């Protein structure tokens, strides 16, 4: 451990999380804003090199290593901790903010880890922090969802651990760098990463658990786990072709399920999977432009997704409702929330002059430059689909459509300011992308605002909107859910377990019955032998004994010679 | 409460918005005459490709979602017994 002033920005938030429960009132509010600011300051003072290193069990451990990619992700995670912290200032749960800060600090720890062992440690801390955030909601469904959530993440952590252990045992270096999918252990690492990204087949953990957190908890949850997974995929597996198809699957899965969904926050949760799909596909394409695009998209996405969930959280906070079929017409009394939510919706749809446009178009452009026609077409269709489910469906059903008669007011000032800050960032990044482009891992030779880009994107989006409004009747909300793979571990496996349990119970009964019978007959025969004058108890005559001994010896002799 | 209080509550204004939207759609397609799109793929060079593709892709996705919904939709109380 060297370098005097260098301190780990993630640890600032984790230590801050330990201090927060002891603070009250204004001191606490100031601390909530100060810890992320301090972390940001420290982060940008760190040189681009390995800052902390040590030896442990013969492995070179680098708990603090900085390069362009890690700094980009650490920056957005700290920014998110700040914005989310401000938004959650009025959260009555005393556990949620500390848990969220520990969670954010661990995510920053993952991005600043130079070796796989440190990655794993922070990875598991993220699972704990996020589970605590879900618990803070304090409801029964949240508790049940958190158990399912932590089960999947512990499974993912185990797979990741097996992969890392295999990698090290196979003579691999502990350093976290690019890996090829050439061995079982590297595949295990990839699978461990993908589980946290919300990739199939276990993707349902995300829309199952995130919407159950409190109105502010979901805002934190939306940012860290999946984007830390995007970061480790960017570092470990760029250009791995299978990721293109995994990513495209995620993009369409998210759209289709979000279109069917009635719960506002579950729509937005499915849309996280959809957005991470774009990033994963970009990582799979693997050119410098695609990787830049994936990284930039993660950065932009964290801001607008948090903004969308803040506006949904404001509605939940004010009305206690989160179903489209029970909402509508809120623009009358929540103008600020409506505007901020709509800005988030435009940004996620990658409308020109918003952050999504300058980031996502890099990924599609990379597919285009690489002459990947199928990938390019599918990315285009998925972009149109984002506008459908998040760009229009979310604001339409919540803030407009038929009037629900609800007239809640805009939320308290801490929540309003957080939404205003993130709305500002969505537009600022869209209008002036250069600062973001300068932070990207590779030099950017990309011009987002050409007349051709702008026109084709506007055409694509507006005609998607036309399709939606023409087919609106097909999308009328019903109080339904759509079964997802979590059905396997919520219904099928428990049913199987009950069935097998019942079968075992029957078997046990039979065995006990049978065993009872056997035991009875054994006892009977033993008693019979040992009873008075029984075979084993009665006195034998000396003559008889001598004769039996002779018979035995003779038999022995015969066997001896016959051998 | 339900008395129209906002300009968006007036059906007349909603109709105006619709007309504006349709005009905007026509405008974006017409703008292709003025802007060179530098297509990378042959299919992209078709006139109004992005408009057609956006509309078609969305229609297909909505229909696909509807189809999947027929199979997999359940009442939203479906899981409630398990969460007890």
Taking CB atoms and an 8 Å cutoff, what residues of chain A touch B68? 256, 260, 482
Regarding whether B44 and B4 lie in a shared domain, the answer is no
Q: How confident is the model at residue A1 (pLDDT cuts 50, 70, 90)?
A: very low
Distance from the A135 Cα atom to the nearest Cα atom in chain B, whole angstroms = 14
Give the nearest partner residue to B29 out of A262, A459, A467, using CB atoms.
Answer: A459
ipTM of the complex: 0.89
Is residue B80 very low, low, confident or very high in pLDDT (cuts 50, 70, 90)? confident
Q: How many beta carbons lie within 10 A of that of residue A72, not counting itself? A: 22
CB contact under 8 A, B78 and A467: no
Chain B hits for A372, CB-CB cut-off 8 Å, are: none
Q: Which residue has the higher pLDDT, A162 or A524?
A: A162
- Dihedrals phi, psi of A53, to nearest 5 degrees: -150, 155
Residues A366-394 have pLDDT tens digits of 999 999 999 999 999 999 999 988 988 89
At A445 the pLDDT is: 87
Which tens digit of pLDDT belongs to each residue from A25-37? 899 999 999 999 9
* Interface contact A376-B40, CB threshold 8 A: yes
Residues A108/A74, Cβ–Cβ less than 8 Å: yes
Q: What residues make up the domain containing B7? A: 1-35
Distance from CA of A464 to the nearest CA of B (A): 5
pLDDT reading at B59 higher than 80: yes
Both B46 and B18 in one domain: the answer is no
Point out the residue among B57, B62, B68 whose CB comes nearest to the CB of A381: B57
Q: Over 60: is that where the pLDDT of A2 sits?
A: no
* pLDDT-derived band at B4, boundaries 50, 70, 90: low
> Alpha-carbon distance A210 to A194, whole Å?
17
Q: Which residues contact residue A519 at a Cβ distance below 8 angstroms, ignoring those fewer than 6 apart?
A: none
Q: For residue A201, is the peptide bond before it cis, meaning its omega torsion is within 30 degrees of 0? A: yes
Inspect the interface and report whether the beta carbons of A481 and B78 lie closer than 8 Å: yes
Res A171: pLDDT: 85
Q: Which chain A residues have a beta carbon less than 8 Å from that of B33?
A: none
Contact A408, A334 (CB under 8 A): yes
Going by the DSSP 8-state scheme, the letter that residue A433 receives in this structure is -
Alpha-carbon span A252 to A386, nearest angstrom: 9
Position A314 pLDDT exceeds 50:
yes
Query: Would you call B5 and A405 a contact, using CB atoms and an 8 Å cutoff?
Result: no
Contacts of B27 in chain A (CB under 8 A): none
The full DSSP string for A86-139 is HHGGG---TTHHHHHHHHHHHHHHHHT--BHHHHHHHHHHHHHHHHHHHHTT--
The confidence band for A404, taking pLDDT boundaries of 50, 70 and 90, is confident
CA terminus-to-terminus distance, chain B: 38
Asked if A261 and A482 count as a contact pair (C-beta separation under 8 A), the reply is: yes
- Taking each helix axis as running N to C, give the angle between helix A184-197 and helix A264-285, from 0 to 180 degrees, rounded to the nearest 10: 150
Report d(CA A353, CA A424) in Å as an integer.
12
- Residue A531 confidence (pLDDT) above 90: no
In A245-264, the residues whose Cβ lies within 8 Å of chain B are 252, 255-257, 259-260, 262-263
Confidence category of residue A521, pLDDT binned at 50, 70, 90? confident
Count interface pairs A-B at CB distance under 8 A.
157
* Res. A3: pLDDT tops 50: no
Q: Are A422 and A311 in contact (CB under 8 A)?
A: no
Q: What dihedral angle (degrees, nearest 10) is formed by the CA atoms of A424, A430, A435, A438?
A: 150
**pLDDT score of B1 more than 50:** no
Region of residue A138 (phi > 0: left; psi between -120 and 50: alpha; otherwise: beta): left
Percent of chain A scoring above 90 in pLDDT: 79
pLDDT class of B35 with cuts at 50, 70, 90: confident
φ, ψ at A267 (rounded to 5°): -55, -50
Contact A468/B62, CB-based, under 8 Å? yes
Instruction: Report CB contact under 8 Å: A481, B6.
Output: no
Q: Which of B58, B76, B83 minimises the CB distance to A481?
A: B76
Q: Is the same domain home to B22 and B54?
A: no
Measure the CA–CA gap between A352 and A359, rounded to whole angstroms: 11
Predicted pLDDT of residue A58: 86
Domain count, chain B: 2
Q: Determine which of B30, B31, B58 to mutate to test the interface with A (most A C-beta atoms within 10 Å).
A: B58
Name chain B contacts of A457, Cβ cutoff 8 Å.
50
pLDDT over 60 (residue B27): yes
Contact between A128 and A169 under an 8 Å Cβ cutoff? The reply is no
Domain boundaries, chain A: 238-480
Query: Which residue among B50, B62, B74 places its CB closest to the CB of A475?
Result: B62
Q: Are residues B61 and B77 in the same domain?
A: yes
Residue A527 has pLDDT above 80, yes or no: no
Q: Lowest-confidence range among A24-38, A50-64, A122-136, A149-163? A: A50-64
User: Do B11 and B25 reside in the same domain of the chain?
Assistant: yes
Q: What value does the mean pLDDT of chain A take?
A: 92
* Range in A144-153, A501-510, B40-49 the model is least confident about: B40-49
Most confident of A11-15, A507-511, B15-19: A11-15
């Amino acid at each position: 451990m060297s370098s005097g002033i260098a301190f780990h920005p993630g640890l600032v938030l984790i230590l801050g999380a330990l201090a927060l429960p002891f603070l009250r009132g204004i001191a606490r509010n100031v601390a909530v804003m100060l810890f992320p600011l301090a972390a940001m300051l420290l982060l940008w003072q760190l040189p681009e090199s390995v800052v902390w290193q040590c030896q442990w069990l013969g492995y070179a451990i680098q708990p603090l290593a900085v390069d362009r990619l890690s700094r980009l992700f650490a920056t957005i995670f700290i920014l998110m901790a700040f914005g989310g912290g401000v938004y959650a200032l009025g959260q009555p749960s005393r556990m949620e903010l500390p848990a969220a800060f520990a969670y954010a600090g661990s995510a920053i720890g993952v991005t600043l880890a130079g070796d796989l062992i440190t990655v794993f440690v922070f990875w598991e801390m993220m699972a704990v922090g996020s589970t605590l955030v879900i618990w803070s909601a304090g409801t029964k469904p949240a508790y049940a969802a958190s158990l399912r959530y932590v089960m999947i993440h512990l499974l993912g952590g185990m797979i990741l651990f097996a992969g890392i252990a295999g990698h090290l045992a196979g003579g691999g270096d502990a350093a976290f760098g690019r890996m090829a999918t050439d061995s079982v252990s590297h595949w295990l690492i990839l699978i461990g990463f993908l589980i946290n990204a919300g990739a199939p087949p276990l993707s349902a953990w995300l829309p199952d658990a995130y919407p159950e957190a409190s109105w502010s908890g979901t805002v934190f949850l939306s940012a860290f786990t999946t984007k830390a997974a995007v970061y480790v995929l960017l570092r470990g597996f760029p250009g791995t072709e299978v990721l293109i198809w995994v990513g495209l699957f995620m993009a369409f899965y998210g759209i289709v399920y979000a279109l069917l969904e009635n719960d506002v926050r579950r729509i937005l949760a499915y849309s996280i999977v959809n957005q991470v799909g774009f990033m994963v596909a970009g990582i799979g394409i693997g050119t410098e432009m695609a990787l830049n695009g994936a990284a930039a998209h993660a950065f932009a996405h964290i801001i607008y997704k948090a903004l969308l969930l803040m506006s949904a959280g404001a509605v939940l906070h004010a009305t206690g409702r989160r179903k489209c079929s029970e909402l509508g017409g809120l623009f009358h009394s929540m103008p600020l929330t409506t505007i901020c939510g709509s800005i988030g919706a435009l940004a996620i749809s990658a409308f020109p002059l918003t952050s999504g446009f300058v980031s996502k178009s890099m990924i599609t452009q990379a597919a285009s430059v690489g002459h990947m026609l199928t990938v390019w077409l599918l990315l285009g269709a998925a972009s149109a689909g984002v506008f459908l489910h998040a760009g229009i469906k979310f604001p339409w059903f919540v803030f407009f459509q038929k009037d629900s008669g609800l007239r809640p007011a805009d939320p308290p000032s801490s929540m309003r300011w957080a939404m205003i800050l993130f709305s500002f960032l969505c537009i600022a990044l869209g209008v002036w992308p250069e600062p973001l482009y300068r932070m990207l891992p590779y030099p950017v030779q990309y011009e987002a605002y050409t007349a051709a880009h702008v026109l084709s994107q506007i055409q694509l989006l507006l005609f998607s909107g036309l399709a939606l409004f023409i087919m609106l009747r097909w999308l009328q909300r019903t109080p339904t859910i759509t079964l997802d793979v979590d059905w396997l571990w919520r219904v099928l496996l428990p049913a199987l377990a009950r069935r097998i349990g019942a079968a075992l119970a029957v078997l046990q009964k039979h065995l006990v019955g049978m065993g009872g019978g056997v035991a009875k007959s054994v006892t009977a025969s033993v008693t019979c032998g040992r009873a008075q004058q029984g075979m084993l108890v009665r006195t034998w005559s000396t003559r008889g004994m001598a004769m039996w001994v002779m018979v035995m010896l003779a038999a022995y002799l015969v066997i001896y010679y016959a051998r | 409460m339900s008395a129209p209080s906002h300009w968006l509550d007036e059906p007349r204004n909603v109709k105006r918005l619709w007309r504006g939207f349709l005009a905007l759609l026509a405008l974006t397609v017409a703008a292709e005459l003025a802007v060179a799109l530098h297509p990378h793929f042959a299919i992209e060079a078709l006139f109004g490709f992005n408009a057609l593709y956006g509309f078609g892709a969305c229609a297909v996705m909505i229909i696909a979602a509807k189809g999947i919904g027929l199979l997999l939709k359940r009442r939203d109380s479906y899981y409630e017994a398990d969460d007890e």
